[in-house]
Amino acid sequence: MATIIATAQPLGIKNDVNMIELNGDDWSELMQRFAASEQGVDKLTVLHIGDSHIKPGIVTAEVRQALRHGCVNDSDSLATISRNVEVECIGINGATYATYLNRSDLTRRLQQLKPQLAIISLGTNEAYGNYGSIQGNIESLLYVIRRACPDVKILLTTPLETQKHRSCGHVIQSGIAEVRDMILRYGKAHHVAVWDFYSVGGGAGASGRWLAARHMSGDRIHLTRDGYHLQGQLLGKALLRLLQTEGSL
* Digit-coded pLDDT (tens) for 100-148: 999 999 999 999 999 999 999 999 999 988 888 999 999 999 999 999 9
Determine the pLDDT at residue 165. Answer: 78
Question: With contact defined as beta carbons under 8 Å apart, do 201 and 12 qualify?
Answer: yes
The predicted structure's pLDDT at residue 6: 45
Residue 223 confidence (pLDDT) above 70: yes
Considering the domain boundaries, does residue 10 fall inside one? no
Q: CA-to-CA distance for 49 and 42, rounded, in angstroms? A: 23
**Per-residue pLDDT band at 167 (split at 50, 70, 90):** low
Give the CATH number of the domain where residue 37 resides.
Answer: 3.40.50.1110
Residue 6 maps to a domain: no
Interval 57-74: pLDDT, tens = 999 999 999 999 987 665
**Cα angle for residues 179, 60, 140 (degrees, 5° grid):** 40
Give the E-state strand segments of 143-211 in sequence order.
Answer: 153-157, 163-166, 169-172, 193-195
So what's the pLDDT on residue 171?
81
Give residue 72's pLDDT.
Answer: 66
- The answer as to whether 166 is a domain residue is yes
Q: Quickly state the pLDDT bin for 208 (edges 50, 70, 90).
A: very high
Q: What is the pLDDT of residues 29-53, one digit of tens each?
A: 999 999 999 988 899 999 999 999 9
Residue 226 has pLDDT above 70, yes or no: yes
In a domain, 1, yes or no: no
For residue 126, which phi and psi values (nearest 5 degrees)?
Answer: -60, -40
pLDDT band at residue 248, thresholds of 50, 70 and 90?
very low
CA distance 207 to 184: 20
Report yes or no on 194 lying in a domain. yes
Residue 77 pLDDT more than 50? no
Rounded CA-CA distance 217/215 in Å is 7
Residue 40 lies in a domain: yes
- Helix or strand or coil: residue 171? strand
CB 68 within 8 A of CB 77: no
Determine the Cα–Cα distance for residues 171 and 78; give it in Å rounded to an integer. Answer: 41
**Is the separation of the CB atoms in 193 and 22 below 8 Å?**
yes
Higher pLDDT, 32 or 169: 32
Q: How far is CA 91 from CA 50, 57, 86, 247, in A?
A: 5, 8, 17, 29
Q: For 7-28, what is the mean pLDDT? A: 87
At residue 10, the pLDDT reads 53
Q: What per-residue confidence (pLDDT) applies to 22?
A: 98
Query: Per DSSP, what are the bridge partners of residue 119?
Result: 48, 155
**Any bridge partners for residue 171, and if so which?**
164
Domain membership flag for residue 5: no
Domain housing 232 = 15-247
Residues in the chain: 249
Q: Nearest 5 degrees, angle CA 124-CA 177-CA 157?
A: 55
Torsion of CA 109, 113, 117, 121, to 10 degrees: -30
Domain assignment present for residue 143? The answer is yes
- Confidence check: pLDDT of 234 > 80: yes
Residue 208, amino acid: G
Looking at the DSSP bridge assignments, the partners of residue 86 are 45
Mean confidence (pLDDT) of the chain:
90
Q: How many domains does the chain have?
A: 1
